[in-house]
Chain A
Amino acid sequence: MAGKVDLSSGGDVLIIGGGISGITVALELAQSGIPFTLIEKESSLGGLSASFCCKASESCNKCFACVVDKRISEIYQRQDISVLTQTEVTGVKRNGGKHRVALQRGKEKFELEVSAVVIAAGINPFDASQKVEYGYGRYKNVITAKDLDEMLRFRGALSRPSDGKLPKTTAFFQCVGSRDESIGNLYCSQVCCAYALRLIKAIRHQYPEVKATFLYMDIQPAGASFQEFLVSCREDKGIRLIRSLPSKVYHSPLSDTLRVRFIDPERGEVVEDPFDLIVLSVGMVLSKQARPLTELFGLDLTEDGFIASPPLQSGVFVTGACSGPKDIDRSILHAKSVAFLVQQHLRGRS
């Protein structure tokens, strides 16, 4: 990556995290001509949302995945943006109103002095193997929604991990790692209902023979176009929406199917239905890399384990899903609002 940086002055702002939120802040600041440095620990920009596939069926289902690709190429198009990939923060010192941040890129170590720091460290999908009863990691055909998304994006086809065949029946489990007292996540991840339903719609469009069962607690609305979308899901005969979270998954080695135990309100009893593929809608947890950052910058966590926004005058800003669950749309919106606050902060300084 070219992005030449004059290391003596990395600009006024350091943006930590090159996911969609960090990229949005960067593009907004660039538009206003504010010098900054964007750092990303991985070798490429985009973060989690860069691995999402388009979830259009007959028409656009407003998943916003295409926006991420567009933003990344916008970053590359601009000549005036300095991006440092494979770079991590190793230390920070407050120097008057400024932050002196120590960075490491491979073996190279250097320091930047900036007036404001934006933390957009993102989230990790919940580790589904913690929900032992669903058998993630033990049964090949139990995958997470993110696994499915990447399968569709990078392989372009739906297949069962165990034998590569097309799964005829799929079950989507909602709230895996969200709204769950047993694992201590007492929050709703806010995006998974719409996310899983869009995945189902996209799959049903490409493979009309694949049936989907959506097992949920409450369907959470997502934006202005969601109601119409939900109605179209309810009208689809190949999608069963069942208000019930499954209790256990069993594997039948003979038929290589998975039996799911859940309460079916339609039949009014506990049932065990066979499925070819199980998709776990995993919730969001703060990314692993964010924890050391909170310690370095002395930031608090919210009750739900995301980063709490520090007072404005500290010059440290938190944006995107690491400040609380957000989808792509809301992450962009939030990042824009933070870009505004950063500029106000800089103006107050000069």
Chain B
Amino acid sequence: MPRIGILIDALQGSIPASFREKISDYVKKLPEIAFCLEEENLASSDALNRIGKRLETEGGERVVIVGGSPKLYETSFQKLRHPLPFNPYLYAVANIREQALWMMSDEGAALERAKTIISKTIRGLSNAKPIEAQSLPLKPEVLIVGGGITGISIAQELAKSGIHVFLLEKGTHLGGRALELRRFYNRPFEVQKWVDEKINGVKNDPQITLITQTELKHLEGHLGRFQAKIQGPDRTETNLSVSAIVVATGYSVTRETKGIYGHKRVTVLPEMESLLSETNNPPLLWDGKKVEIVTYLLDGVNEDMKVDSINAVKQALLLQEAFHCQAAILCKDVKVAADGMERLYRKAREKGVLFFKYEEPPKLSIVNGQIQVSVRDTAAIQKDDQWPISILSDLVVVSEAFVPTPETESLSGLLKIHLGNRGFLMEDNPQLLRVRSNRRGIFVAGACRFPQEVSESLIEARAVAEEVIALFSKGAYTYDLAVAEVDPKKCAVCYTCPRLCPHSAITVEKYGERNVYVTPGTGGDMKWGAAKVDPASCYGCGICVAECPAKAITLRHLTDDQVYAQMGLME
């Protein structure tokens, strides 16, 4: 039986001295006790030194703190930052203050309860094992899926940090949807020149291996040891081994073409963008005819995205200023939640752009070859004054719906990362924060997570680069082995745990000699694999432990034996 040191928290006002005395008398009689100390300030360096010395002289390695809430000691140990004289997994707290002393009105009953708590804590701790740290070497090689502006930026930032990048693009050229953009709303320089410079930078960077017309087909392994199978043109397959993966596959669009939306005077924002950049001087021509009135119809789709609103205001201002057109923007909400956007919106209004906020969708009809947009003017207070307004437009500009790219779903399947509720990858998650995925070593950035403005994507790109270099900074990933572990002899290969694991840390494979499962009644020939937890990918959440029908999985830092011992079920 391992010998255990008992520390009684003698902080003033915490546990009365008389009660402590009785506890101390009781504890000293227990067989597994090495020593019993009273300390006024447990987390002070003096106290920790004393504890360390006693552990050394009495030959123990485990400590039970008898006192208040475990949280109290955790935070004070953390705050003081002295190295603990014991393995952090080899101490336990018996909370006799909140769970006994404060709970019972009768002191005798409280003492009895405190004794039970202490003996249970001691039993639990006797079964605990020290948890050692492990280290996984990482070679600085990263695979980036998607050669859009986000993927390109990440590749460049990583290359600058001395990490080798494989940049995978399924199409023939880089740049993605940024090529549709001609002007930034908040920066003076031209988008195309800026994108071209970046693309050239990527092409000439010796740290970046550019692979175009190639898709990711298969992925195996975990952080530090990913094995990716990629398929190029002519179905040639190549294997890549990388330490981490960044997904930046962007988004797709769908365009409504039914009914009047198929009319040649209805266009979409990117087409308008290129028309505006190709026309140098007024008049603006569309289909050979002069354009004077342009109506933007927003929020039919992408209601929760800022991008369309930003682009529409930017274009409308240009129409008004440079092309002497009359522009009107119809939307549900004017989205100005971006730096500098409110000023741009006000400027647009000053220059004569009309804004209408609608609740019922505006009606479109064809009148003399032009498109009439009818909307109720909700600016008037009185309901009776809210006249319908008709705008006879030469051109109606609508949004394209932003949707996940067609391969997003299969990609999420082969990478085993989560899909959000709208089919984009991941979503807002306070546990993982942005750019991290549910799997360690796989990151998600840019519009494949959520379509957004370019400057936001660039910040995400740098944040991904930061995450990756932080991961690689020491050349290895170091972690505590406080993870789940499968006993292969007990595993029935039922595939419950790989399906349930939220971090895809469990695979079924053949490993070790012990790992042999013989199906009953089939003789000794059938040899199967067993479930295996990758310790570097496991978060130690315990879901698989609870669900395993064969009880083949345990948490190394909280074994079943520990829990049973604590419950008194071991005797």
Contact = CB atoms under 8 A, between A and B. Distances in A.
Interface of A: 1-3, 28, 31-33, 60, 62-64, 66-67, 73, 76-79, 179, 186-188, 190, 193, 218-228, 230, 243, 263, 265, 268-270, 302-304, 324-325, 329, 332-334, 336-341, 343-344, 347
B81 A243 contact: no
Contacts of B161: 343-344, 347
Contact of B427 (A28, A32, A224, A347): A224
Given A62-B430, A193-B337, A333-B459, 8 more contacts: A3-B81, A32-B470, A62-B429, A67-B430, A179-B342, A223-B428, A334-B463, A337-B459
Interface in B80-108: 80-81, 83
Contacts of A33: 473-474
Interface residues of B, number: 58
Interface stretch (B165-173, B224-232, B302-310): B302-310
A344 B160 contact: yes
Given A76-B78, A79-B83, A333-B435, A340 B428 contact: no
Given A224-B450, A340-B463, A67 B433 contact: yes
Interface centre among A3, A193, A224 (most CB of B within 10 A): A224
B132 interface: no
A36 to B, nearest CB: 14
Contact of B337 (A63, A64, A221): A221
A225 B424 CA distance: 11
B381 interface: yes
B460 interface: yes
Contacts of A62: 428-430
A30 to B, nearest CB: 9
A23 to B, nearest CB: 13
A334 B455 CA distance: 11
A113 B433 CA distance: 33
Contacts of A228: 421
B357 interface: yes
Contacts of A224: 420, 422, 424, 426-428, 449-450
Interface stretch (B194-202, B233-241, B328-336, B489-497): B328-336
Contact of B333 (A63, A76, A78, A220): A220
B473 A2 contact: no
**Residues of B contacting A: mostly:** loop
Contacts of A220: 306, 333, 335-337
A187 B383 CA distance: 31
Nearest to B462: A337
Ranked nearest first, the 6 interchain pairs of A and B with the lowest CB-CB distance are A337-B462, A268-B383, A220-B337, A340-B466, A218-B333, A336-B463
B41 interface: no
B131 interface: no
Contact of B306 (A63, A221, A243, A303): A221
Contact of B433 (A222, A270, A329): A329
Contacts of A304: 339-340, 343
B3 interface: no
Interface centre among A193, A219, A302, A332 (most CB of B within 10 A): A219
Given A77-B78, A179-B342, A224-B449, A269 B465 contact: no
Interface in B393-432: 420-422, 424, 426-430
B346 A186 contact: yes
Contacts of B474: 33
A19 to B, nearest CB: 16
Contacts of A67: 430, 433
A341 B461 CA distance: 12
A336 B426 CA distance: 19
A243 B334 CA distance: 12
Contacts of B461: 337
A67 B383 CA distance: 46
B301 to A, nearest CB: 11
19 contacts: A28-B466, A28-B470, A31-B470, A33-B474, A63-B430, A76-B75, A76-B81, A186-B346, A187-B339, A190-B338, A218-B336, A220-B337, A243-B357, A263-B381, A270-B381, A324-B339, A325-B339, A333-B434, A340-B466
Contacts of B434: 329, 332-333
Contacts of B341: 188
A188 B459 CA distance: 20
Contacts of A243: 357, 378
Interface string B300-326: 000111100000000000000000000
Contacts of B306: 220-221
B89 to A, nearest CB: 15
A73 B75 CA distance: 8
Contacts of A336: 435, 462-463, 466-467
A336 B470 CA distance: 10
Nearest to A344: B160
